[in-house]
Structure 1
Amino acid sequence: MASHVSTVPAAPSAAALAHFEGAFAFETDCWDVHDAFSRGQPDFVLLDVRSHELYARGHVPGASSLPHAKITAGKMAAYPMDTLFVVYCAGPHCNGAHRGAARLARLGRPVKLMIGGLTGWVDEGFEVAVAQPAAAVTSPE
């Protein structure tokens, strides 16, 4: 008797390769973000898309606070059009990062999701920063 895992056969290897390699165009992970910041080489802007209050309680060092509902063309105008944004939220149980990524993509901005979010960051054993809500991205509007 087949398990629920094998009831639906695995994709052919070529399709699996295209799927999994394709995911790298849409996401990065906590380790890669940490590595870029540790080397002083972040070639992206890291956005914590949770509320300013949650950001203030704890966030990834180097991240800016910009709640996903506040991502607007006016706020993004401060950045060159080819700026890569990496977004994260609380973790896998939260879809805020997907909402933020969709808003950025609608504005024609390159974007990736940091899978795992803050939960993944903590799970990796990385330091969490604490800040005041004043650390929020300000709007030129």
Structure 2
Amino acid sequence: MTVSSLVLAFPPGTAAQSLQYLAAKLSYYTDSADVAEDLRHGISDIVVIDTRTEALYAAGHIPGAISFPHRLMDQGSTAALDRDKVYVTYCDGIGCNGSTKGAYKLAALGFRVKELIGGLDFWQRDGQPLATGHEAGTMQGQNAPAECGC
């Protein structure tokens, strides 16, 4: 009896198709190691947004992130945001779609956005620090955790 490949049941695209798809995917998502590195180096072209409630933000958030619950995002509440920045949204993790809703709302209002893969859950799994309280905090000057293996 011959066993067919489950991996190859749906043939992969060509190398050119894969390149186009993966470049597009990287345009929409980022990971905690890349965000942390940018925050540690004070890269001002990105703004990290915690899309959860203010209470959850205060309990623990990415240092440097601002609290902006997705439910409060609209044309008026985003008027002061800088349209030259790229906004990286996050929520609790893969079981939450707050980052997707926030990114969607921001994109619909004309902002450039990316989502943080795995949200706060993957951030903590990667050994990244948390800030607490209502102040954003900072990661500038902090050392990187052990290599993530990426």
Aligned residue for 1:19, secondary structure, equals helix
Distance in 1 (CA, whole Å) between partners of 2:68 and 2:4 is 47
Distance in 1 (CA, whole Å) between partners of 2:84 and 2:41 is 22
- From 105, 108, 111, the equivalent of 1:109 is 111
Aligned to 1:72: 74
Aligned to 2:22: 20
Using the TM superposition, name which of 4-13 and 29-38 deviates more: 4-13
Q: CA deviation at 1:122?
A: 0.5
Aligned to 1:8: 10
For structure 2, which runs of at least 5 residues remain unmatched after alignment? 137-150
Does residue 61 (structure 1) correspond to residue 63 (structure 2)? The answer is yes
Deviations 1:39-97 (A, max 9, x none): 12232111000111211111100111111111111121112322221101111221111
Query: Alignment identity in percent?
Result: 39
Aligned to 1:31: 33
Give the TM-score normalised by the residue count of structure 2. Answer: 0.82
Stretches of 4+ moved more than 3 A in 1? none
Deviations 1:115-137 (A, max 9, x none): 121011111101011114xx59x
Distance 1:3 1:58, change over 3 A: farther
Aligned to 2:52: 50
Distance in 1 (CA, whole Å) between partners of 2:131 and 2:60 is 5
Distance in 2 (CA, whole Å) between partners of 1:97 and 1:32 is 17
Amino acid at match of 2:102: G
Distance in 1 (CA, whole Å) between partners of 2:58 and 2:17 is 42
Aligned to 1:93: 95
Amino acid at match of 1:99: K
Larger Rg: 2
What do you get for the CA RMSD once the two structures are aligned? Answer: 1.6
Deviations 1:93-122 (A, max 9, x none): 211111111000110111111112101111
2:100, 2:115 within 8 Å by CA — same for their partners in 1? yes
